Amino acid sequence: MEEETIPLMKAVAYLPGAIGGAAAAMLVLLVISIFHEVGLATAFAVQIIAAFIVSGVVIWKMA
């Protein structure tokens, strides 16, 4: 495999992780909104937490 293709393959591998993080955050916000009214700050917090968790999992799996 060429040296230039390895970073490209890693970037492509992050895409499912990003999509999975967005989907997880969406489901968490849906569940929270059933029981509570979700404000903008809560939505941002859930998005940030989901991004950290999913990016950590993706980096761990790729290492």
Question: Residue 1: pLDDT above 70?
Answer: no
Per-residue model confidence as pLDDT tens digits over 7-60: 777 777 777 777 878 888 888 888 888 888 888 888 888 888 888 888 787 778
Q: Where do the structural domains in the chain lie, given as residue ranges?
A: 37-63
* pLDDT at position 52: 84
- Residue 24 half-sphere exposure, CB side, CA atoms within 13 Å? 17
pLDDT at residue 63 above 70? Answer: no
The answer to whether 20 and 53 have CB atoms below 8 angstroms apart is no
Kindly state the tokens that stand for 46.
Answer: 């859930």
Global pTM value: 0.62
Give Cβ neighbours of residue 24 (< 8 Å, ≥ 6 apart): 50, 53, 54
Rounded CA-CA distance 25/41 in Å is 14
The tokens of 11 are what?
């970037």
